Each structure stands twice: as C-alpha cells, then as structure tokens.
Amino acid sequence: MKTAAKTIAIAARLTLSLLFLAPFVRLAQPQSPTVPINPTVNNCNVTRPDTPVTPALLTSGLPCAVTVIQPITLDNLQKAFDFYSWLTFIALNSPAAGGTIGKDAPTIWEQFKESQDIMLPDGSSPPPWGAPPIRPSKCPNAPAGATVLVMVGKTPNVLTESVQPFLTGPLIDQQGQYVHYEILVNRPMFEFIVQNQLYNQQGQAKFSGTITFPIGQVTSGSTGTVGSIMIKAAWKILDPKVDDPSRFHTAKVLVYQAPSTNPKIAESCSVATVGLVGLHISHKTQVEPQWVWSTFEHVDNVPTQSDVNSKKLAKRYNFYNPACKNCKVNDPPPRPWDPNAVPFPGGFKSQIVRVVNLMDDVNKLNAQFQGILKGTVWANYKLISTQWPTDGQSKTDPNGVPAPTYLANTTMETYVQGTTPQASSSCIACHGNAATTKGKTSDFTYILERAQSAK
Amino acid sequence: MSNSPIDLFVGLSAVLTGVDSSKLAPLLDPVDIKQTYFNFVQGKEPIAFTQLLGIFQQNQGQDPATIANIIFNQSGAAIKYLARSIILMWYLGSWYEPATLQKYNSPNPPPPPVPSAGVISADAYTQGWAWNVAQAHPMGYSNFTFGAWSEDPPTLADFVGGNGGQS
C-alpha cells in the first residue's frame, strides 16, 4: 500500500510538474558539480585609458575592473569609464567560437544564460551552464540552440523575459514591428544564483544576510576576477526589403509570445532574423558596488533633438521617420499592444528622438573605436555613455551618487529619457530599488524578483 | 582652497549652513548644485553677491562665528538678507527674495507664511539640506534601497560631515 501510495504521489507530482512546464520543453540536464563561483583569471584587460586606440585593442580582452589614471576629476574618470566600456564591448562581442572581433558571428555574451532559463516557472533548479536555451513547446521545429526572445508586452501569469522599455509602452520600428529584448547573465552571476538557490522563492527566504553578487577586480598585474555581468539586448526584426543586414550584428532567433489573458494575446512562435539595436552591459566591480553601466546603440537608431532642430537628418532611421511632420515624438503606441498584430495596426511607427546629446568626449571616442572596427558590423555601434558611482562607499546614498546622473538608451528607456529626478532614466537609481521576492534588497538586479515558488 | 568665486561661494556657504564644504561640493560632483546656485544668485543679486563674496574673502581666516557676526551685524541689510536667502536656498532648494525676508523681519511684518519665489530647479528640490539634516529624504524622491524605512538612518555626521553639527 505504501508503495502504491508513493507511486500515485510521484505520478501526481510529475503531472503537476508537466502542467507547470507546459509552455516550455526542457531536456533533462545533469547538474554540474559545484564550481567556483568567481574563479581567478590571469587575463584581465588592464589597458590604461590614455592608450592610443589602435587595432591592438581588438584582442586586449575583457577588463576585470576599470583602470583609472590621474588626475582624479569627473571628466577624466568619465573618459576612463567610457574607455573601459568600449574595451568591454569589444571583448564581449568577440566571436564565441574564438578569434578576433570582426566578421559577424555569435558573440561571447550570447552564450550567457538567459534570465528566463534561470527563473523557471516551477522554481526548479535551472539547467547547468552551457545547456542549450529552453525551447517553448510552441516552437517544435526550432533550430537547436536558437536564442529565444520573449516578446515585449504585459503578459501576466506567464514568466516573461522583459518588459523593456518598462511598462510605458513597446517600441515599434519603421516597418511596424515590435522590438524584442533579452536579459542574460554571465557565469559568476549564474553560479551565485544557483549555488545560493536564489532561483526560487524558498531559496530566497532561506538566504541569510545581504545579497552581494561577485565582484570584478584586479589583484595584481593582469590577475583578478571577472565580476557579475548582466546584459540587456534589444533586437529589431530585419525586413529584407528595407533593412541592410550587413549593417547589423544579426542572429536567427525564436520570437516567442507567451499567452496572455489580459490583454488577450495568443501564444505564438516564429523564427526571425534580427539585428542588434541596443545593448546594456552592467558589471559589478570592487570599487563600483553599484555596478558599472555601459550602454550602446546602433548608429541608425534615432536622431538627437539637436539634429531635428538643425534639420541635420539622415535619410532613414530605425525608429524615426524624417519625412513625417505630424508624428508625435517619443510617444508610446496606442493600446492595445498585441505583438501578434504586426505590422502595428493603423500604420503606427515609433517616432523617437534622443533627448540628451552624447558628450563631445564620447563622440570622439566612438569615432576612434569605430575606426579600428571599420569594415565590420561593429563599426555601426556607438557608446551612449557609462554610468558609474562617484562615491561607491557613500553611507547616505546607496546609489553612490551616479555620474552621469541620467542615462537612457533610446531602445530600452525610450519613454523615460531626460533629466528630471525620479522620472528620467538612471540605471543605478532604478536598479537600486530592486528587491527579492522576500523584500530584501537584491544588489541592483531585478532578475531575482522573477523567482517562482518551488513546486 | 582657491579664491575663485565658486570656491569662495562654497566656503561662505559652509559657514552659513554649518555643513562641511566637502559635502556641499564633493570632489566628484555630478549633480553640481553649487554651480546652479552660484549662477542663480549671480543672476538675482549680482552687486550684493559680489560684495558678500568679497567680505567672506577678506575674513575667511576667522572662525565661523566671527564671520557670521560680520555678515549679519556689520555689513548692512542688503548683505544680511542675501546671506539669509542663501541659507534658505541650500536648505530648502527654494529662493526667498532678500527684500521679502527683510519685510517679514520688520516691526510690522505681513502675515505668514513668507512667500517663496519658487523651487530653483528639479535637482534643487532633491538636494535640499533640510532633508539631510532630518536624516530623511524629500517627499517623492529617495536614494535609499528597498526596505530602508525599517532601518535606522545613517548618522547626522554621515550626512553633514564633520562632527554632525555638534559644537
């Protein structure tokens, strides 16, 4: 009897598990043995920010921390952080298969773990590092290992990937297509979450003390540790009739729309070729416990307000129509937002303008790095800025008094650009509010808020 | 510290407010509210402001109480009430016209409250030192992390520098 009851209980639990896992199919993966969360590396990129920008930098590697030089002034430090951002961009966009950045290929960061593959609907332990992305069951014929982009939109009751650009509205390109997003983390961050069981609510409840993700640092020479890195990427569906894929870093992905009841949205899945239009890279380091926030965009995205005012406009942009005189600028699309209804009904296309100009020093640095990347798709990306804490140890400002105070990527903080306290985008100020499901501060990541209860 | 107008303004402001100059004007200062305030006062009261900075420059080697006595009791009404306006600006982020303050300090003042000419800027609202001295934060704006309301705030010395305003 006992055995029969146990069998029934196991069957019931299996059935329940399958129900909770219904939208996703996951192959059983052996769990990797415990590995060091943040192992020592001996190839930290410690290039000084006053180093001439030459092709030698294309193979200089990933910085474990920001290298700064005298004098310690706001402008000089900003230059150092921006230089660090470009080195990081080059390192993380280098081919995953090895070699130097150049020919368009799957990148190192695209091999990081997607957040929807960490915070699973049933709160179970995520597949180990290196396992292929979890494939929604709606996508039966998907290419093996394809990245899964979960659609922008309000999709309650379903574990969604990202609601960028926040809940203020989706971003619609000039072909009427929604922009898609993904969030990924590197291995130290992933292992910290897994080994501390922060991937479900029970684990978060059990965790004592303050959540402190691994830090990047240089301990001596080029030896150190790579800290936690979070990536947020924005992708545009490429239209072969209009878009020139040779201008973008591209990927063949699954565009998955989770079902929703309010608003009513059907589950869907399709394969698409997408082009990278926005990239956030945040890295936690010893001196910057509020993380360092670098953000890049495709050069064709939008004009600045100054460009518009002075009528110095390009022929076309990804998210702005120079010929449209009556389009409302920086206005979210009208509801309803149904990502299955594309092109967007009524012919709506986002008309986006960059509100805050890039700093002159950033423009100069962009030109230098684009110069060494000339002839590759990567020359079509530009740094917007790097936000960093000017007083990382401040007792009265846990955000560390960020510089610049505000920072927005037009593909991700589209509708919250500007310089108004609390209303305009600041990476650190926003992420400083992040918490776990148990109300504990979560060290500047919202990923932990997505944890479900273990079944 | 140099005798540049902005440095004199910071030194003067430290004496007037009791807040350490390293807090009013940190070495790395992305908000740079001191420059906002300097420009604002320069635009409002250019003559009296220049005189006030000159008085501070001549006496900056004195102890704060002596400097305060010179400004408030020996330099005339224009300087005295401008100094008061500057104190209120740092603490409240708002501008109170010196002439208005003088009117409200007369034997027959108008009924309160003293009218403000307005908040100087959005940043000025968040940077008001009244909030720091209260070890709190402005309504609708906080840098503190989730759950900070259930914990003791940092010490007053952490906010204002020095010994926390203790004599």
Q: How far is B158 from chain A (nearest CA, A)?
A: 7
Residues B37-74: tens digit of each pLDDT: 999 999 999 999 999 999 999 999 999 999 999 999 99
Calculated CA dihedral for residues A344, A350, A351, A356, nearest 10 degrees: 180
Quote the DSSP letter at residue A77: H
Mean pLDDT score, A401-413: 96
Phi, psi torsion values for A95, nearest 5 degrees: -60, 135
pLDDT mean over A148-177: 62
% of chain A beyond a pLDDT of 70? 89
Predicted pLDDT of residue A20:
38
For residues A207 and A196, the answer to whether their CB atoms sit within 8 Å is: yes
Peptide bond into A71 cis (omega under 30): yes
Reduce the secondary structure of chain B to three states and give it as a string.
CCCCHHHHHHHHHHHHHCCCHHHHCCCCCCCCHHHHHHHHHHHHCHHHHHHHHHHHHHHCCCCHHHHHHHHHHCCCHHHHHHHHHHHHHHHHCECCCHHHHHHHCCCCCCCCCCCCCCECCHHHHHHCHHHHHCCCCCCCCCCCCCCHHHCCCCCHHHHHCCCCCCC
Task: Encode pLDDT of A41-91 as tens digits.
Answer: 999 999 999 999 999 999 999 999 999 999 999 999 999 999 999 999 999
Least confident of A156-170, A200-214, A300-314: A156-170
**Beta-carbon separation of B122 and A419 below 8 A:** yes
pLDDT, tens digit, for every residue of A430-443?
A: 999 999 999 999 99
- Write down the pLDDT at residue A403: 98
Beta bridge partners of A24: A136
The amino acid at residue B28 is L
Q: What ranges make up the beta strands (E) of A175-321?
A: 180-185, 217-220, 223-225, 229-237, 250-257, 260-261, 264-265, 268-283, 292-298
- Read off the pLDDT of each residue in A136-149 and give the average, rounded to a whole number: 79
What is the pLDDT, as a whole number, of residue A455?
86
| Range scoring the smallest mean pLDDT among A46-60, A157-171, A419-433, B131-145 | A157-171
User: How many angstroms separate the CA atoms of A280 and A185, rounded?
Assistant: 12
- Please indicate whether residue B164 or residue A352 has the higher confidence score (pLDDT): A352
- pLDDT at position A166 over 80: no
Of residues A396 and A150, the one with the higher pLDDT is A396
Q: Are A83 and A49 in contact (CB under 8 A)?
A: yes
Residue (of A106, A450, A88, A114) closest to A291 by Cα position = A88
Residue A117 pLDDT > 70: yes
Smallest Cβ distance to B141: which of A72, A419, A421?
Answer: A421
pLDDT tens for each residue of A188-239: 999 999 999 999 999 999 999 999 999 999 999 999 999 999 999 999 999 9
What does the alpha-carbon distance between residue A213 and residue A222 come to, in Å, rounded to a whole number?
A: 22
Per residue in A247-286, pLDDT tens?
999 999 999 888 877 778 889 999 999 999 999 999 999 9
Cα–Cα distance for residue pair A343/A172, rounded to 1 Å: 9
Integer Cα distance of A415 and A198 in angstroms? 31
- Contact between chains at B30 and A74 (C-beta distance less than 8 A): yes
For residue B161, give how far its alpha carbon lies from the nearest alpha carbon of chain A (Å): 11
Predicted confidence band at A14 (pLDDT cuts at 50, 70, 90)? very low
Contacts of A402 in chain B (CB under 8 A): 30
Confirm if A381 and A369 have CB atoms less than 8 A apart.
no
Q: Which two tokens stand for residue B94?
A: 């708002």
- Mean pLDDT over residues A331-351, rounded? 93
Helix axes B64-73, B77-92, angle to 10 degrees: 120
Which of A337-346, B7-16, B76-85, B86-95 has the least mean pLDDT? Answer: A337-346
Cis before A170 (ω within 30): no
The Cα A406–Cα A430 span in angstroms is 10
Residue labelled with tokens 């982020």 = B93
Nearest-CA residue of chain A relative to B131?
Answer: A396
Give the span between the Cα atoms of B40 and B82, in whole angstroms. 12
Q: Given the DSSP bridges, would you call strands A147-150 and A250-257 parallel, antiparallel or unpaired?
A: parallel
**Given an 8 Å threshold on Cβ–Cβ distance, is A435 in contact with B146?**
yes
How far apart are alpha carbons A307 and B16 in whole angstroms?
A: 44
What are phi and psi for residue A409, nearest 5 degrees? -100, 130
Distances from the Cα of A198 to the Cα of A119, A183, A192, B123, angstroms:
9, 17, 8, 37
**What is the pLDDT averaged over residues A414-439?**
93
Pairing verdict, β A147-150 and A223-225: unpaired
Which H or E element spans position A47?
A: none
pLDDT, residue B163, reads: 74
Q: B147 and chain A: CB distance < 8 Å anywhere?
A: yes
Tokens of A324: 């449209």
pLDDT value for A153: 36
Q: Which residues pair with A279 in a beta bridge?
A: A233, A296
**Looking at residue A152, what is its pLDDT?**
56
DSSP letter assigned to residue A377:
G
Q: Which of A173, A171, A172, A153 is nearest to A162 (CA)?
A: A153
**Looking at this protein, which amino acid is placed at residue B3?**
N
Tell me the C-alpha distance between A418 and A399, whole Å.
Answer: 19
- Cβ proximity of A300 and A318 under 8 Å: yes
Please write the tens of the pLDDT for every residue from B64-116: 999 999 999 999 999 999 999 999 999 999 999 999 999 999 999 999 999 99
Beta bridge partners of A273: A252
Of A401, A421, A432, the CB nearest to B30: A401
Pick the residue from chain A with its C-alpha nearest to B160.
A396
Mean pLDDT of chain B: 94
A77 in reach of chain B (CB within 8 A): yes
Q: In this complex, is the C-beta atom of A106 within 8 Å of any C-beta atom belonging to chain B?
A: no
Asked if B126 lies within 8 A of A421 by C-beta distance, the reply is: yes
Pairwise CA distance, residues B23 & B21, whole Å: 5
Percent of chain B with pLDDT over 70: 97
Q: Which residue has the higher pLDDT, A2 or A258?
A: A258
Which of the two residues, A146 and A22, has the higher pLDDT score?
A146
Mean pLDDT across A176-191:
96
**pLDDT reported for residue A183:** 93
Tokens (6 digits) for B61: 């080697």
Q: Which residues of A32-179 form beta strands (DSSP E)?
A: 40-41, 113-114, 135-136, 147-150
pLDDT at A33 over 70: no
Nearest by Cα to A295 from A209, A376, A408: A408
Q: What does the pLDDT read at residue A285?
A: 98
Closest Cα partner for A389 from A242, A284, A251?
A284
Are A214 and A198 contacting, i.e. CB atoms less than 8 angstroms apart? Answer: no
Averaged pLDDT score across all residues of chain A:
89
User: What whole-number distance in Å separates Cα of residue B45 and Cα of residue A18?
Assistant: 74
Residues of B in contact with A428 (CB under 8 A): none
